[in-house]
Structures are given as C-alpha cells and as structure tokens.
Amino acid sequence: MQYCELGKTGLPVSRLCFGALTIGPLQANLPTDKGAEVVRAALEKGVNFIDTAEYYRTYPYIREALKGWTSDVYIATKSYAYTREGMQESLNNALKELDRDHIDIFLLHEQESILTIRGHWEAMEYLLEAKQAGKVRAVGVSTHCVTAVTAAASIPEIDVIHPLINIDGVGIQEGTVSDMVNAIKTAHRAGKGLYGMKALGGGNLLARYDEAVQFVLDIKELSAVAMGMQNQDEVEYNVRVFNGEMIPSDLASRMMLKPRKLHIDEWCQGCGACVQRCQAGALKVVDGKVKVNNELCRLCGYCGAVCPEFCIKVV
Ligand code: SF4
Ligand code: SF4
C-alpha cells in the first residue's frame, strides 16, 4: 500500500481510503459486527484511512473494527452543523461514538460555495479551537462543487478538501471534470491536503472500474481516494488495484460489477421530503410517487435518510 502525506497535516494516509458510507444504514445496512469485519479486513491489508460522516451513522462499525487494533488509523468525519453549539455536539458525538480522544480530520459536510463556507464559519471557528486544544488534528470541507474547492483553496485555516471527482463527472456541480481537476491542482499548490470521493460515480461507473479508478489514481494531487466497500471481496479487489497487483480470476468473477441503482418502494407517499434533500435534482414527484432521474443520481443514498416511509434504497 502506498502512503502519502495529506497536505501539511502530517498525516501519512494510505492512498486507498475506506469510505464507510456503503456499509451503514444509508446503503448496505450491514449488522455492526459484519460491517466492522469489512473495515477490519481493509485495515489488515494496509488501509489506515477511514472516511465517514455523522450523517452516515457508521461510527459504531468503525469503533468495533478498531477494538484491539494498535497501528495508527486516521479517521475523517463530517458534520452539517453551522453553529458553534451544533459543531460542539457533533465533535463530542464523534469522540464518544468512535471512542477516540481526538478526530484526525473534521470537515464541514457538502459545502457548495464560498457563501456556504462563510455561513458555516461559526462551526469552523469551533473546530479551529478544538484543533488548538488537540481534539481535532486537521479541518476542512467536503464538496461536490468546483467553486467550493477553489474557494477553500484560498482560505488559510482550511487544511483538507474532500472533492467529488470521477472520469465522467457524475455528480460534479458547477463545472466539468477538467474544471474540477484544475481546482484540485490549484488547492494542492496552495498546500491543501486532498482526498477524492465518488471515483465510481456512486456505482454508476462500476462497469468501467479499472479505467475509472486509474483516472483518479493518476491525479497525483490526491493523497488518497475514498472507495466505498461493502464486503471482503471488494476490499481485496480495491487493495489489489491500488497496489497495481494482478486480480485472480476467481476474485474477478465473484465481484459484482453490475451498476447499482436507486430503488423506490411502491409504498412511497409522494411527500417530497427526499426531493428537498437531493442536491443533485435527481428526484421529482410524479402522480403522487417519487421518480428518480438516473442520469443525475449519484447514488449517495442521502435521500433515504429523510424518507419517513423507509422506501429508498441503493441496490
Ligand atoms: S436521488 Fe438520492 S441517492 Fe440520488 S443523488 Fe439524490 S440524494 Fe443521492
Ligand atoms: S421521502 Fe419517501 S415517501 Fe416521501 S416522496 Fe420520498 S420516497 Fe416517497
């Protein structure tokens, strides 16, 4: 496994970052012990970097996976909090639920522009104080927007940027793939640590896995790339690809390289809560039921978290 320093944070992260969204309630919804086994399998293969978020509800999996694990592991998490009190609660929750005395990287979740970063600055100021106090080691933003990467690059207090990037630009907002790559390079020149997300477009690019992964690995300004993994085969497959190792034919045949999709159960009440939540504009209520535009959906699963009827799943 290759390790790269994440900007100026001093954190030597593995190029393959375990994206924890996929094991949790918003996606595979694995039992805690099973999800923890998947995380642990990645750690045993040299992964030392885990990406999660308060919204994902995957802290218990990570805590379980880290029980008895003595090597260094770096955890990045995120919160939508925009007030000082909200961020304090998010940080305390992360420390408690992850059973850690500090969080390595704490990000403002899904920032859209300089305006949203400014709107969350009270929360960021709390994180900066927590950094001074040793409870957080690095702070930053996660984003799907080119303009937010560029804005964050110019903010001295920001250590880390977690941008969405993939070969087809699935889910990139306010710009093209090359705009995002240029923004990443600009941020890197400004000394920011960068790790990418959604290299497979939330599952849409699974059929072109090798090409899609190679595209992000070739962006040398990304110290790491977060990949969602739901089982041990996916861990083994990703580790081998990131290490440039051969894929055994039995592993290749076990891997389900079929595209995922958003499934909406027929008991949808058409309340529209998911439509409001989707920042990709992929959902619309038609004749009393919600419909998804698969071209726009990046399979984040975020809409499922707000459905009062529990009728949205990534399958
Ligand atoms: S429809 Fe749901 S899964 Fe698709 S992009 Fe919107 S919030 Fe994410
Ligand atoms: S939140 Fe659930 S019930 Fe409401 S429109 Fe969306 S899928 Fe249907």
CATH classification of the domain holding 78:
3.20.20.100
Residues 244 and 292 in one domain: no
State the total domains in the chain: 2
Do 111 and 159 fall into the same domain? yes
Average pLDDT over residues 90-104: 98
Query: How many whole angstroms separate alpha carbon 117 and alpha carbon 94?
Result: 21
pLDDT of 156 > 70? The answer is: yes
55 and 200 inside one domain: yes
Same-domain check for residues 14 and 32: yes
pLDDT value of residue 259: 64
- Residues 217 and 115 both lie in one domain: yes
User: Which residue ranges have their beta carbon within 6 Å of ligand 1?
Assistant: 262, 277-278, 280, 282-283, 292, 297-303
- pLDDT above 60 (res 258): no
Task: Report the C-alpha gap between 49 and 76 in whole angstroms.
Answer: 8
Give the residue-averaged pLDDT of 262-275: 90
- One domain for residues 123 and 236: yes
Q: How confident is the model at residue 257 (pLDDT cuts 50, 70, 90)?
A: low
Q: Ligand 2, residues 307, 312, 313, 314: which to mutate, most atoms within 8 A of Cβ?
A: 307
Calculate how far, in angstroms, residue 264's C-alpha sits from the geometric centre of ligand 1.
Answer: 11
Tokens 């920001």 appear where? 158
CATH code assigned at 305: 3.30.70.20
In this prediction, residues 7-23 reach a mean pLDDT of 96
Q: Which ligand is nearest to the CA of 288?
A: 2
Q: Is the pLDDT of residue 220 over 90?
A: yes
Average pLDDT over the chain reads 93
| CB distance 271 to ligand 2 below 6 Å | yes
Residue 159 shares a structural domain with residue 235: yes
Distances 177 to 90, 163, 220 between C-alpha atoms, Å: 32, 11, 15
Residues 231, 310: one domain? no
Q: Grade residue 308 by pLDDT with cuts at 50, 70 and 90.
A: confident
C-beta 272 within 6 A of ligand 2? yes
- Which is higher by pLDDT, 208 or 315? 208
Look at residue 313 in the predicted model and tell me its pLDDT: 77
Same-domain check for residues 174 and 304: no
Sequence-distant (6+) residues with CB within 8 A of 10 are 137
Domain that holds residue 194: 3-254
Same-domain pairing of 118 and 145: yes
Higher pLDDT, 253 or 18: 18
Q: Which ligand has the nearest atom to the CA of 262?
A: 1
Q: Examine the domain organization and report whether 208 and 277 are in the same domain.
A: no
Same domain flag for 16 and 113: yes
